[in-house]
Structure 1
């Protein structure tokens, strides 16, 4: 086995650039038609951002707790789009006060200006963090990262998954050398706290105490500022809305299951009860957490540890939507760097290619009944590859010259 030959790197980069040109043309066309169309569009560029912007407008005009008044929020949303993502309720506000705190400045801007700023910041942060992840494989590695369908899917929908993925990638890159900064990035994930749950497990196993303290301090600071500025009544209202959404939509609405690349949704779509689906989710999530803890506690190369953490984060979620697969670029990048630096087999590269295409498959599953979501199986397979590569590392240690830059920093 040898590293990927240089001609293949150029071929991968070239194919990625072709795909990137297609994605850029489609996104530009969608954005142009959205920004120049008169009236409220049924769909268009950044359509989900209308919920964020509407919440910020409502909070500024009627008080922060008013974002949980769905009739009021719906009234504002209908001024910027004619259709409803959630029939009859139209995009309820499900985010914690920490996220609303960052959105308030956008509510002072016109919708198109706010959407442009939000999209630019999200894409720039994502690409900057991902470049820090893959730069050890050389500049050509940025091409498949920039062409990753999950990036453009999240961008077209106007979702915040680019920002959360950027925070996670930046944290993982910073942990070995700047743990305090890494903790700040982890603390920023409190805007979507379910995506940060695996970080404490990994950090405890790695004995990264400074990072843990920094993450806890940043998270507590964000929550404290949110409570002071937005009011303590936001917390119970948020918990109540999330509970309502869980019971009404996640557990009893088959339409949303088609857009959820999770084991829970797959089981529910196959006819399992909610209790059985949660049980199946746990059957996979618990071993995934155990594997992640084992890797972070042991001597695995850091790329494998970081990839396992992100795979576990995604596979452990019972509620996840297709645009959240922007996170999938992180384990793909770390595994790709490990394959490049420590050699890999053809099926391992093909596995990364399959994972790279998962956002497209996930969207296709929402539009085509019976196709099903393949991402959970791919995530489990990636975890298997990670464990397999660590096992080969233990049996055949890499030469000193090939030791990962991360491993040298950690040691």
Structure 2
């Protein structure tokens, strides 16, 4: 005889259907409105940056202008000259429609990324920018479709295309689509193609601060082949960059980093739109630099600990992937609005996990808030609205942790019910 204890069964199922206000029709309406906001802001950039040129209103491609300028310098002279801010600005500022300001336009990327961008200046700037952004978006979309196949459906296109970070990253011409694709493909390939996963993670040497948490996940998750593959990729990638560009580029990069870090610290309390990290938020509110670093270290330690815990506990893949991406945004001290494109990955994985396993109260609010958060880029610079983004990112991290605890509660309830049924069966005998 099997006993069904309704109280145990009820307590072991804390998840429920998606909230009614997040049905497909409403999502499309919300996304359509945000898409119009994105198009409006982008159009203003085109008009005032390209057509009716107003000084210091940068047209689309303002960050890609730095990449293109570095490519031009590397192709026409010693590659190490890209770390000379005066040389970079001489080429980049006209492309950015900018006048010199205290906020300089330096090249602060490692030689590995310079190697990737080396061919950029072989094409005229506008053509190179369009080719770069289009290729990156295609790569990112392929990853999105692998994570959530429903994205291939026309009805899902709208919220994906309307995600504000897509427009921020495309407008800047940043490398966010490339890092998004490498992160997503690496996680997708984790178990079935570990060597490919390691290669993807290793190629993130183009932006090392985004790879700080990956070793924690791989070590606690016991993905040894992925770890070895990533390490080998970083080594080969760096050696190739040194051979092509000259190994002196690494020493110049090492010299440039402290100067840029000091520049960020000096202006961190009045950075346009704010720095989207705990450190940036603390500095915006007047906290002293040592205390701001201390507060950031606490947040970073909590995020890294969550990664170690969920990966060691072998939580559902969607939760492990989400916590890794969220920690990737919380651990570095310097995160910009275009980096928030990476928020798209945990959003997609949480949508997939919610569709399969149900939702907890408040999950929908956190997911939608994260989806909207890159809109801070459209606010006036003196608002420094970006400093509030880390709160949203950390809240989404707590959503992932809570979902893992709910999963454990379900398993514990099932075990308890199984034990009761087993005991009842023995008693009957």
TM-score by length of 1: 0.89
Judge conservation of contact 1:259–1:363 (CA < 8 Å) in 2: no
In structure 2, the CA distance between the partners of 1:65 and 1:294, relative to structure 1 (3 Å rule), is: same
**Aligned counterpart in structure 1 of residue 176 of structure 2, from 161, 164, 167:** 161
Q: Which residue of 1 aligns with 2:410?
A: 396
**DSSP 3-state at the match of 2:23:** helix
2:119 is the counterpart of 1:105 = yes
CA contact (8 A) 2:274 2:384 kept: no
Matched residues in 1 for 2:269 and 2:198: separation? Answer: 38
> Which has the larger displacement, 19-28 or 301-310?
19-28
Q: Structure 1 residues 253, 203: closer, same or farther in 2, change over 3 A?
A: closer
| Aligned-partner SS, 2:383 | coil
Higher relative contact order (CA 8 A, sep 6+): 2
Cα distance, 1:20 vs structure 2: 3.3
1:303 aligns with 2:301: no
- Tell me, yes or no, if the aligned pair for 2:210 and 2:328 is still in contact at 8 Å: yes
Write the distance in 2 (CA, Å) between the matches of 1:39 and 1:354.
33
Conserved 8 A contact 1:257-1:269: no
1:92 aligns with 2:116: no
Q: Does 1:247 align with 2:266?
A: no
Q: Write the distance in 2 (CA, Å) between the matches of 1:236 and 1:211.
A: 29
Match of 2:387? Answer: 373
State which drifts further: 252-261 or 24-33. 24-33
Contact kept in structure 1, 2:265 and 2:289, CA below 8 Å: no
Task: Go from structure 1 to structure 2 and tell me whether the alpha carbon gap of 1:398 and 1:138 turns closer, same or farther (over 3 Å shift).
Answer: farther
1:143 Cα shift? 3.3
Partners of 1:7 and 1:330 lie apart in 2 by 19
Consecutive unaligned residues of structure 1, counting only runs of 5 or more, are 401-411
CA contact (8 A) 1:134 1:141 kept: no
Superposition pairs for residues 180-329 of structure 1, below 5 Å?
180-256=195-271, 258-329=273-344
Q: Offset at 1:150?
A: 0.6
CA contact (8 A) 2:221 2:314 kept: no
Q: How many residues align?
A: 398
Q: Pick which of 343-352 and 145-154 moved more.
A: 343-352
Q: How much has 1:249 moved relative to structure 2?
A: 2.6
1:155-198, CA deviations, whole angstroms, 9 ceiling, x for partnerless residues?
Answer: 01111112111211111111132211111111111000110111
- The residue aligned with 1:331 is 346
Indicate the SS of the match to 2:271: helix
Contact 1:251 1:274 in 2 (8 A): no
Whether contact under 8 Å (1:184, 1:214) holds in the other structure is: yes
**Structure 1 residues 169 and 142 mapped into 2: Cα distance closer, same or farther (>3 Å)?**
farther
Give 1:81 deviation, angstroms: 3.3
1:131 aligns with 2:131: no
The alignment's C-alpha RMSD in Å is: 2.7
Mapping for residues 15-34 of structure 1, pairs under 5 Å: 15-20=30-35, 23-24=38-39, 27=42, 30-31=45-46
Tell which deviates more after alignment, 172-181 or 298-307: 172-181
Q: 2:188 aligns with which of 168, 173, 179?
A: 173
Contact 2:49 2:57 in 1 (8 A): no
Distance 1:272 1:53, change over 3 A: same
Give the structure 1 partner of residue 93 of structure 2: 78
Contact persistence 1:34–1:44 (CA under 8 A): yes
* Residues 134, 142 of structure 1: 8 Å contact kept: no
Structure 2, unaligned runs of 5 or more: 1-15, 415-429
Which residue of structure 2 lines up, in the alignment, with residue 47 of structure 1? 62
